[in-house]
Every structure is written in C-alpha cells, then in structure tokens.
Structure 1
Amino acid sequence: MVTTIQDFERLGEKYFSHWLAKGESDAILNVLEARGLEVPDDVRERIRRCQDLDQLRTWVRRAVTVTSAQELFTE
C-alpha cells in the first residue's frame, strides 16, 4: 500500500519512467526550439534515447541558458 507521497513518487518513477523520460525529453526539445536554437539530429537522438530522469532534468535546466544544443552535454 502506498503510504506517503514519497512512496507514490518512487512507484510512479519505477513503473512510468519511460513516460516521464519522454515528457522530459519533449520539454528539452521544446525549450531549445522555442529559443530558436538549431537541434541537430544527433543531439535530438541522444536526448530521445536517454532514460535517466536526473540527467534529463539537468538538461531541461541547461536548455534555458545554453547558446547551442550541443552545450547541453558539457559539464
């Protein structure tokens, strides 16, 4: 039984992570495109293939400030 919000979040990430990852990758691409940045096919593919939610969330935050799509991947 789910007893806390944290339990629910962990279960959600476990069973629905592929949908969460798709949402995060869509957000990254939408931010980059809204900012008028070119998104090469290799960058788009790398974003779409990633299933690591923490990494995707990092890229979402970076998408707001990078000057090129490739900069997402630099530390």
Structure 2
Amino acid sequence: MGTGLSHFCGFVAESFRDEGRVEGRGEDILRILAVRGVPVPDEARQRITACKDLAVLDVWFERAVTATTVDAVLAES
C-alpha cells in the first residue's frame, strides 16, 4: 500500500523544476548580454538574478537578443 505522498512528491519535484527554470533563465540572459558585449552593472545583474517571475524573465530574455544596453532589456513595457 502506498503512503499517499505521490502528490506531494510531484509538487515538490515540480517546484524544483520551476526554480531551476527561473535560475537558468536569469543565467541565460546574463550570458547573452556578455557574449554580445553589453555591459551589465552589478545592480542590473542583481535585479536579473533576484527575479523569480518566469514571464518577466522570458520578456527580458527576448530583449537581450537584440538590446544594445541592459536598460533596454529591463525597461518597463
């Protein structure tokens, strides 16, 4: 007989996956900017790494592909 924890384990696993996606997306943004030679001041770097909203990070990621400044990446829509 099962312990009934499968739902909990699934929830925990999904939470870890989401956390990994968020962390990875922030790293991706910083990497794109670095490869493109866009300077990222410490304050902006901290804002990117502290963001936990995947939707916001996705917008920043798309902007990082073409932006010439970090301000253009982080600009309010």
Aligned counterparts of 1:33 and 1:69: Cα–Cα separation in 2: 11
Q: For the aligned residues, what is the CA RMSD?
A: 1.9
- 1:19 Cα shift? 1.4
Aligned counterparts of 1:70 and 1:42: Cα–Cα separation in 2: 11
Deviation per residue, 1:20-75 (Å, 9 max, x gap) = 11100000000000000100000000000000001001110000011101211212
Partner of 1:60: 61
Percent of aligned positions with the same letter in both sequences? 35
Q: Which runs of 5+ in 2 are unaligned?
A: 1-5
Aligned counterparts of 1:39 and 1:47: Cα–Cα separation in 2: 10
- Rg bigger for which structure? 2
**Alignment length (residue pairs):** 66
Structure 1 segments of 4 or more deviating over 3 A? none
Q: Which runs of 5+ in 1 are unaligned?
A: 2-7
State TM-score, norm by structure 2: 0.76
Partner of 1:46: 47
